[in-house]
Amino acid sequence: MATAPDATSFSNFAPIGTEYDLPALRVTGELPKGLAGTLFRNGPNPQFPPLDPLRDHWFAGDGMVHAFTIADGTASYRNRWVRTDRWLAEHAAGRALVAGFGGPELAEHGIANTGVANTNVVWHAGRLLALEEGHLPFELDPATLTTRGVRDFGTLHDPFTAHPKTDPLTGDLIFFGCYAGGAFSPTMTCGVLGADGRVKRLERFEAPYCAMVHDFAVTERHIVFPVMPLTGSMARAMAGESPFAWEPDLGTHIGVMERAQGVASLRWFRAENCFVFHVMNAWDQDGRIMLDVMQYAAAPLFPRADGRETPPADTNATLMRWTLDPAAGTDAFTRAPLDDMCGEFPRLDERRTSLPNRYGLFVGGSRDGAGLDTIVWHDFTARRRSAFTVPSGDSASEAVFVPRSPSAPEGDGWLLSVAWRAQDQRSDLVILDTQAVADGPVATVHLPHRVPFGFHGNWVDAGR
């Protein structure tokens, strides 16, 4: 069991310093019969206090993966830091060696720039992969969470997205990468990993400018790249400023590519500046491309490049539907609201990725200034929603959908979310039935400690 000092702050953004192995957790309610597998979650968890607090950013913390395993009506838990090159070097030194997102300290200390692997964790081709968009994946042992090392699938060298999409019809994993021409370059890649883990396609293209492109969209026929003016700048990085900043005058550019034709078919749509971290889903409909996204008026969590502050109201996201028409003879597209609650972390029944989906969800904020406290489940066909709100002061993480069975209809299953219990300074795993979300958890798995606020996770069925 490895340990490091806990931060003194009581905020759940603070890291934890212990790697746990907890074989039997207390459960309130009854774990669903047939629910067997592991929920893996990833997020930033700095090993040591920052080297330079002025350059520090939540996004730059060391990755820690948390695993909740459910089997035979019981629940267990394990967590591990991802042993990246940076983590290993700092662990050996007993202190932080690198500030923020990296930079000259990596070279000064001879640390390979393999990233922090802190954003997502996915299963593909029999491998568990910890991801962040600046670097290649790290493979983990799914049973022990032991780090197996960087995985390049034989030929990959460029950055790899934290949000690859699995095609439910082929099993292919579609991915993209930013900064492929070097740090803060506008060069991007797009590729396909087959269900067997072999690279089937890899192409490069130039974006209108260097941007933080966190997520993208895939339909049966198209790939869509939202390039928005949260820009990367080497000059800012070298000056000790935030390397990423909001430059709204550059506008929003949406790249659309035909999957069959690749980069040769790439064209760009335009819109007034806005920002999207996450896409719920996208699909083709009557020649048009439909995308459901969580849209901000301006990027949150980063400064403006000109030093002005962004109005707080502009840094709240709501669920929007975009409609792009490649045959319309215009580079414009339409946007329409689907929900007025502020929120983030949209998900769906991933068996409908790239296909029309009836159901979707996000985590919203029902109380002003209270953060994310409500799991919102949408039936877009019936135009109704149901929601569950955690107690006042608590918070809910991204909720992951798990089908009731492999053959269950779309949207029939469970929603799993890690909830922060502010009063008790610890976390629970809550399990909701999609047929009765508003009724609250059918089961709650209790941890004795906190799971710090993080980003994304996925469910892996037992024996997969």
Domains identified in the chain, total number: 1
Confidence at residue 215, expressed as pLDDT on a 0 to 100 scale = 98
Residue 17 lies in a domain: no
How many angstroms separate the CA atoms of 78 and 82, rounded? Answer: 13
pLDDT exceeds 50 at position 113: yes
The rounded distance, in Å, linking the Cα atoms of 462 and 237 is: 44
Q: Is the pLDDT of residue 302 over 80?
A: yes
pLDDT of residue 8 exceeding 50: no
Across 137-157, average pLDDT:
97
Q: Any idea which residue has 């000059």 for tokens? A: 235
User: pLDDT category, 261, cuts 50, 70, 90?
Assistant: very high
Binding region for Fe cation: 163, 214, 278, 456
Cβ contact 82:140 at 8 Å: yes
Residue 427 lies in a domain: no
8 A C-beta contact, residue 189 and residue 180: yes
Residue 368: the pLDDT is 64
Residue 221 lies in a domain: yes
**pLDDT over 90 percentage in the chain:** 86
* Domain harbouring 197, CATH code: 2.40.128
Structure confidence by residue, pLDDT tens digits, 13-49: 999 999 999 999 999 999 999 999 999 999 999 999 9
Q: Is 114 inside any structural domain?
A: no
Does 271 fall in a domain? yes
The string of pLDDT tens digits covering residues 49-89 is 998 887 788 889 999 999 999 999 999 999 999 999 999 99
Whether residue 233 is contained in a domain is answered as yes
User: Can you give the residue range of the structural domain that contains 286?
Assistant: 154-334
What DSSP designation does 250 have? G
- pLDDT level of residue 139 (50, 70, 90 thresholds): very high
Structural domain contains residue 409: no
Is residue 299 in a domain? yes
Report pLDDT for 56. Answer: 84
243 phi-psi bin (left φ>0, alpha ψ -120 to 50, beta other): alpha
Reported as type and span, the H/E element at residue 237 is helix 234-238
Please check the confidence at residue 369 and state whether its pLDDT lies above 80. no
